[in-house]
Amino acid sequence: MAFNPKMIMKGKQMFSRFENNHPRVLPFFHYIGKKATEGTIIEMKVIFPDGKESTCNIRVTEDDMELFREIGEMSK
């Protein structure tokens, strides 16, 4: 897989736009990343415009914690 600087820049711009449009999301994920421990349950719920809902959850594992740490390091 080749490194494409244009795609990286486009991704950064899109992420910045998302962050500006939804300013509470990243602080929430940072908070969760600091507080979550193995065994924590993270639940996600989506409510569609027609009122239908979809929910799922995960129980955080040690592998998940390692992924969270790596992502945290990459974002510094």
Residues 43 and 60 in one domain: yes
Q: Which domain does 70 fall in, by range?
A: 38-76
What's the pTM?
A: 0.68
The pLDDT value recorded for residue 76 is 61
Residues 48 and 22 in one domain: no
From the list 61, 35, 57, the residue with the least C-alpha distance to 44 is 57
The pLDDT value recorded for residue 5 is 86
The pLDDT value recorded for residue 29 is 84
Q: What is the mean pLDDT of the chain?
A: 89
Distance, CA of 9 to CA of 38 (rounded, Å): 34
In order along the chain (76 residues), what is the average pLDDT of each group of 10 residues? 83 92 90 89 97 97 88 70
Residues 76 and 43 in one domain: yes
Distance, CA of 52 to CA of 12 (rounded, Å): 32
Helix (H) or strand (E) holding 44: strand 41-47
Residues 31 and 55 in one domain: no
Tokens in use for 26? 């990243």
Domain count, the chain: 2
